[in-house]
Amino acid sequence: MHTFGRFADHVSLLSGAELYPLLVTTIGEIIYEELPAFMERTGKKTLRVLEVGVLRNLDDDHLKGDGHSTLAFARLLNEHPGSKYVGIDLEPHEARRAVDSEGLGDFCDFYAGDSVATMEELKIDGEKFDVIYLDADNDGAATMREYLLALDLIEHPGLIMGDDMNTDHREVRKGRVLIPFLREDGATFKLRKRHTPWDTRDILVQEIS
């Protein structure tokens, strides 16, 4: 059971500058909330997770900014024997070392390569996943291609998530094509807020029935 501190009792006593560090939200916290809730709703006892774009740095700044999603997935799946993690990245070596260092490597596989090409190979091989997390290319068109492949790779019911899905951020561009597409298509989804030390990022959460 993962518990994260809440500071509601103290919020009214703090200035904006003092409060901001307490509002930092890592992707790990969101993973620990969304995946167990999804398992409870669907009755799934194990999960197969595909992460497109994995952990590359273990320093504190990246923990605060990105939340070490690869380790968050692996730690959670370790609580559900029989689960499986697959990660895709051009450079997955740091992620492999990270999960191995915590004794979590037995159920984790990593593919080094282009995200779209590797997802296409997984599709050809007939692979399916309960959860797919998109966090690779900082490019709207590329993220859209990854999402369309995710629809082919996702189990029903399944959960598609994506980091940095802002549509109006100067630097973050992953959601600029996908989020307008989902809205125009009438898709059901939510955008959760991930508060970093620097700004706020939108996290896509879409349950596929």
pLDDT in tens, 77-89: 999 999 999 999 9
CA 66-69-70 angle, 5° bins:
135
- Residues of the chain with pLDDT > 70: what percent? 84
How far, in Å, are 127, 150, 154 from residue 122 at the CA level?
5, 10, 11
Please give the CATH topology (third level) of the domain spanning 8-208. Rossmann fold (3.40.50)
What is the reported pTM? 0.86
The domain limits of the chain are 8-208
- pLDDT band at residue 138 using 50, 70 and 90 as cut-offs: confident
Listed in sequence order, the DSSP H helices in the chain are 16-19, 27-42, 60-65, 69-78, 93-101, 115-124, 140-153, 175-185
CB 153 within 8 A of CB 123: yes
pLDDT in tens, 15-48: 333 444 445 678 889 999 999 999 999 999 999 9
Task: With a cut of 60, say whether residue 4 has pLDDT above it.
Answer: no
CB 102 within 8 A of CB 71: yes
